[in-house]
Amino acid sequence: MDISGFGLKSAILIVLVLFVRFAVEKITLNSWDHSHDWTEMLHFIIIGITVVVVAIPEGLPLSVTLSLAYSVKKMLKDNNLVRKL
C-alpha cells in the first residue's frame, strides 16, 4: 500500500469517527447550536483534508524520479539525449 492511499483512507476514517462522535454527543446532550455546530463540522472536514495534504507529498519524490527516468530512457531510445546544456 502506498503512502498516499494510506493517507486518504486514514483521512476518511478520521472524518467519519469525528462525525460519529459529534452526532453521539449532540444526541446525548440534546443540544444543537446552528452557528457553532456547523463550524465544528467544517473543522472536522479541514482536519481530514490536512491529513491528505500531509500524506501525499511523501510519495512525490519517488514519482518525479520515476517519471524523469522514464523520459530520459525514451529520449535515449530516440537519440535525443542532451548531455550538456
| pLDDT reported for residue 20 | 87
How many Cβ atoms are within 10 Å of 7's Cβ, its own excluded?
Answer: 19
Query: Could you tell me the three cell numbers for 65?
Result: 524520479
Contact 64/45 with Cβ under 8 angstroms? no
What is the rounded average pLDDT of the residues 35-43?
A: 80
CA distance 48 to 68: 31
What is the pTM for the complete model shown? 0.50
HEC letters along 40-74: HHHHHHHHHHHHHHHHHHHHHHHHHHHHHHHHHHH
In the predicted structure, residue 56 carries a pLDDT above the cut 70: no
